[in-house]
Amino acid sequence: MKGSSKKDDKYRINSDIRASEVRLIDEEGTMVGVMSSTQAYQYAQDKGLDLIEIAPTAKPPTCKVMDYGKWKYENKKKQAVAKKKQTVVTIKEIQVRPRTEQHDLETKLKHARRFLLDGDKVKINLRFMGREMVHQELGFELLNKLTKDLSDIAMLEVPPKKEGRQIYVLLSPDAVKIKDLSKKKDVETKTTETAEA
């Protein structure tokens, strides 16, 4: 049990609670009722626990009787678990030019495929230099071809879009298509192993 809260805590506890009246919830989660903050604080002290202001904007503010240290620890654990469950999606960028050689395009496609299979989004940028701007249709054709080549594992999130001297397209991994593809590969692998045996 503490007398006051630290400055970095976002909840007021015990004697730091400024409201004259509070709505009190006991350690079992049962509503006790409205009383003065002094009475509520005394109630918490009698139980050997802390008084925590959990809803400061309510009228009157709602306070709960509990072990503040234990409650804070459990909240930290819940936040850590929630953070682990979050998936961080990154956008990988691939640069191409209207006259990029076929071999280089295949290499860039392999990279894009790997990024998509890893769960990342892929942004393909096609940059025009000098007079290439005259033949923008070639850039759109190339981006459409690349999008089609990756359509077995990706879905088009942003269609080819012009931005200054470049056109870009944004692809995101399609979980259903990726799952189907991996099932198909598993079946092919089993068939090959059976044929070899």
Residues 50 and 99 in one domain: no
Arithmetic mean of pLDDT, 129-157? 85
pLDDT of residue 193: 66
Residues 50 and 100 in one domain: no
The residue segments making up the domain with residue 157 are: 91-191
Residues 16 and 98 in one domain: no
What's the whole-number average pLDDT of the chain?
A: 82
The string of pLDDT tens digits covering residues 13-63 is 887 788 888 888 888 878 888 888 888 888 888 888 888 888 888 888 888
Residues 109 and 181 in one domain: yes
Domain stops at, among 37, 68, 99: 68
State the residue for tokens 């802390």.
Answer: 50
What percentage of the chain has pLDDT greater than the value 90?
3
Domain stops at, among 17, 37, 68: 68
The string of pLDDT tens digits covering residues 95-122 is 988 888 888 889 999 998 888 888 888 9
Domain stops at, among 68, 83, 110: 68
Residues 110 and 50 in one domain: no
Q: In CATH, what number is assigned to the domain containing residue 22? A: 3.10.20.80
Task: Answer yes or no: is pLDDT of 139 > 60.
Answer: yes
Tell whether 125 is covered by a domain. Answer: yes
Task: Answer yes or no: is pLDDT of 3 > 80.
Answer: no
How far separated are the first and last CA of the chain, in Å rounded?
71
Task: Answer yes or no: is pLDDT of 5 > 60.
Answer: no
Residues 175 and 111 in one domain: yes
Q: In CATH, what number is assigned to the domain containing residue 100? A: 3.30.110.10
pLDDT of residue 123: 92
Tell whether 77 is covered by a domain. Answer: no
Structural domain total, the chain: 2
Residues 13 and 100 in one domain: no
